[in-house]
Amino acid sequence: MKKILLSTLIAGSALFGQCTLDSQDIKVGWTAYKTYAKAGVKGSFDTIKLDAKSADTLATTLKGTTVHITTASVNTGHTQRDATLVKSFFEVQNVDAIKAKVLSVNEKSMDIEIEMNGVKRTIPFAYTKDEKELHAQGVIDLNDFHMLLSLGAINKACYDLHAGKTWQDVALSFTLKLDSGCN
């Protein structure tokens, strides 16, 4: 009898698995814009710490999940550009980290609180998902985070490359790999 009960519990827990995420599961990307033609410059961050609890659904797992991004790990695939972004953007206002926290998750969108430069703003992110990944996109305005001093510094440092124009909106995205327990 004990063997039958134990087998039933193990089989039941396999059917009702937990959704688990870790720092290896997330990629954070961004697109900033330059020139009056609004040409996109894409990048990502290499150092991301994700703190998520396991739960029975993806929405429950995501709610309350936090991400800590080290800004010095910016990666555009071009080391000189990365160094310029660190020195002439993030360091201008001593922004060494960006934090994000998922506040709510709906059927096709989620609200994420982003903290940068000591300022918190709630940003809506649209998302899509399949069995393997979740893709989310949102847009921030650097003025909302009091980052116009940094925007001016990067525009000055890259004036010729940007043809005198660096935009203050930045598209953000993240991709999460989903394990089989995330539905």
Which pLDDT tens digit goes with each residue over 31-87?
999 999 999 999 999 999 999 999 999 999 999 999 999 999 999 999 999 999 999
pLDDT of residue 33: 98
What tens digit of pLDDT does each residue of 163-172 get?
999 999 999 9
Q: In terms of pTM, does the model score above 0.85?
A: yes
Whether the predicted pLDDT of 138 surpasses 60: yes
Q: How confident is the model at residue 136 (pLDDT cuts 50, 70, 90)?
A: very high
Tell the burial category of 16 from Cβ atoms under 10 Å away from its Cβ (0-12, 13-18, 19+). exposed
HSE, side-chain direction, 13 A CA sphere, residue 154: 26
What tens digit of pLDDT does each residue of 81-118 get?
999 999 999 999 999 999 999 999 999 999 999 999 99
Residue among 150, 129, 131, 132 at smallest CA distance from 140: 150
pLDDT of residue 16: 52
Domains and CATH numbers, the chain: 17-177 (2.40.128.110)
Residues near 143 by beta carbon (within 8 Å), at least 6 away in sequence: 168
Whether the predicted pLDDT of 5 surpasses 50: no
DSSP string covering 111-160: EEEEEETTEEEEEEEEEEE-SSEEEEEEEEEGGGGT-HHHHHHHHHHTTT
Q: What is the mean pLDDT of residues 2-19?
A: 49
Residue among 43, 101, 51 at smallest CA distance from 72: 43
Tell me the sheet residues that pair with 48: 69
User: What percent of the chain has pLDDT above 90?
Assistant: 80
Distance of CA 115 to the CA centre of its chain: 12
